[in-house]
Structure 1
């Protein structure tokens, strides 16, 4: 991304009203899964086309599951860069880290280039994983127009006819397949620290 685009995207992130989340109509209730509940099984493909499945990951250790909005979001890029820099804090505890996004595999490639992510990032086809984990919500038309004014077309970015994004939530899933920790904040500017996730492990 050129330097000329960095400023508009940063302005976009700050300009969008956080309160707009409450005005949006979710395809399913965008509320966190309860700690202690069974984590929904999921499968998907990472940027290289390799299969990623929760059941297989849990055989190796607990799973830390992150959701992010897209390579156009500076808050997401910052979070994933910090996650990569501090990844050993999680892997040292035997954790398997997997990240889920609605953006296309092509855009995932851009995210990897920006953040140097060495963990699997899964394209959520038809928002199935986001919906199962109650993070998906439909962006209201006014906010969609604001994104487009900054050159961000959600339908194009996600290769979908729907304007859907995830709450950038984080889940820790124990080897028994149950939710051990949840971070769920509709304010997309607020992200959980890697150290807090490590403590939850």
Structure 2
């Protein structure tokens, strides 16, 4: 009987922890709309971008993340591979405006970058996750205060660095989702997926 309860507890614990992990949206899902003001003060919305062609939506962690900076710089450097396919790019981050300006300085990103206030878009796309206290303390020792950087009030969260391609109908035609923030999609691989 004791073994039964231990097995039941273990199964419940595994199920509960699995539910905490984001999975992202899947191919053929309808992409939630978003609209905001980019780093240049321009209004940007998925609804309007879709009218022009496919939209690449990229979630990134912040200017303090070297993997994010490398990915955004590579995108900017090879932007023509994307625009030649009549596609547009928009990057979304929970990082507030000062951090976005730092990202632009570091990467030269000329495509729109939107601040995801209150993590509403990263939650809608299923990429948001809560950052545990241990990780928050480790980041603070490196002068990265997630709550301050992201204007978050009570709990720190980050997005999984995910990439979605959305067609004119608003359906997701491709997704790159890897919980290991060090793994990133190359621009060439991304361009090959734009139809």
TM-score range, shorter chain: 0.7 to 0.9
2:94 to 86, 102, 119: 102
Query: Are 1:170 and 2:163 counterparts?
Result: yes
1:195 aligns with 2:180: no
Unaligned runs of 5+ in 2: 1-16
Cα offset, 1:175, TM superposition = 1.0
**Residues matched between the structures, number:** 178
Partner of 1:184: 177
Q: C-alpha separation between the residues in 1 aligned to 2:176 and 2:24?
A: 8
Change (3 A) 1:53 1:165: same
Deviations 1:34-63 (A, max 9, x none): 101111111122112322110000011100
Q: Distance in 2 between matches of 1:48 and 1:57?
A: 16
TM-score, normalised relative to structure 1 = 0.85
Distance 1:101 1:172, change over 3 A: same
Q: Which stretches of structure 1, 4 residues or longer, exceed 6 Å deviation after superposition?
A: none
Q: Report the equivalent of 2:8.
A: none
Structure 1: 5+ residue stretches without partners: 1-22
- With over 3 angstroms needed to count, the CA separation of the structure-2 counterparts of 1:38 and 1:172, relative to structure 1, is same
> Larger Rg: 1 or 2?
2
User: Could you list the per-position Cα deviations for residues 91-144 of structure 1 after superposition, in whole angstroms to 9, with x for gaps in the alignment?
Assistant: 000001000000011110010000000100000011111001001000011111
Could you tell me the TM-score, scaled by structure 2's length?
A: 0.88
